[in-house]
């Protein structure tokens, strides 16, 4: 999967996020809540917040914009570093990048973020889930995929690359190193002595020729 697909996925997420927010702003009034599934389980509730993901307040508007820009720069650097990675982490980075840009666009253009996805889970989990948007969802799904990949699959992918590289002739070198490492001190001493004797004999032969 080529790196440009990361930006394609990010652009799709950004477009969907901004389009759904525009629909909410133009078809609902602030704090309006419309049931979708059941009376309370899933509602469309239009709110605006100045916080970060899930409406959490942390610092002012300039600080949040600065943090978002730093996160985007880090993502772009990370995308470059993972140019040879498989598809899963690239899809994750595309989701995170699109979500970050989606909320950043709101904060930059309007000073606050539009949220409208409103779920009510059983009280044993949480009294009511914070209202969020598609950008929040994309960031969370992307982070989940990326963490799962890094924890369970990253080392396997690196090992696979090492084995693939070994097919170009590296195994012979690898085997010789392994064999040397497995020698006992006595075997190593005998081999060193044999090499010394061979060298001495070759020297005597050269002197005899002279």
C-beta pairs of 160-167 under 8 Å, 24+ apart in sequence: 161/84
Confirm if 118 and 131 have CB atoms less than 8 A apart.
yes
Catalytic residue check, 118: no
Confirm if 108 and 21 have CB atoms less than 8 A apart.
no
Residue 105's contacts (CB-CB under 8 Å, 6 or more residues apart) are 14, 18
Q: Which of 106, 115, 118, 210 is the catalytic position?
A: 115
Confirm if 31 and 116 have CB atoms less than 8 A apart.
no
Catalytic residue check, 115: yes
Q: Rounded to whole angstroms, what are the CA distances from 201 to 144, 187, 191, 198, 208?
A: 67, 21, 15, 5, 11
The SS3 of residue 1 is coil
Q: Which of 136, 154, 198, 210 is the catalytic position?
A: 136
CA 52 to chain centre: 20
The residues assigned a catalytic role are 115, 136
């Amino acid at each position: 999967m080529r790196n440009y697909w990361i930006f394609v996925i990010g652009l799709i997420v950004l477009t969907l996020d901004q389009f759904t927010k525009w629909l909410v702003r133009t078809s609902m009034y602030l704090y309006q809540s419309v049931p979708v599934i059941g009376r309370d389980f899933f509602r469309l509730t239009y709110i605006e917040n100045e916080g970060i993901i899930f409406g959490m307040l942390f610092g002012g508007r300039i600080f949040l914009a600065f943090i978002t820009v730093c996160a985007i720069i880090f993502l772009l650097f990370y995308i470059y570093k993972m140019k040879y990675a498989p598809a899963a982490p690239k899809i994750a980075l595309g989701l995170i990048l699109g979500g970050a840009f989606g909320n950043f666009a709101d904060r930059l253009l309007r000073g606050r973020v539009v949220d409208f996805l409103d779920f009510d889970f059983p009280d044993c989990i949480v009294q009511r889930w914070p209202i969020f948007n598609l950008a929040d969802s994309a960031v969370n799904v992307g982070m989940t995929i990326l963490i799962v990949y890094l924890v369970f699959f990253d080392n396997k992918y690196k090992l696979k690359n090492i084995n693939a590289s070994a097919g170009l002739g590296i195994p012979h070198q690898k085997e010789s190193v392994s064999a040397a490492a497995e020698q006992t001190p006595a075997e190593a001493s005998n081999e060193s002595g044999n090499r010394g004797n061979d060298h001495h004999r070759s020297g005597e032969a050269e002197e005899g020729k002279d």
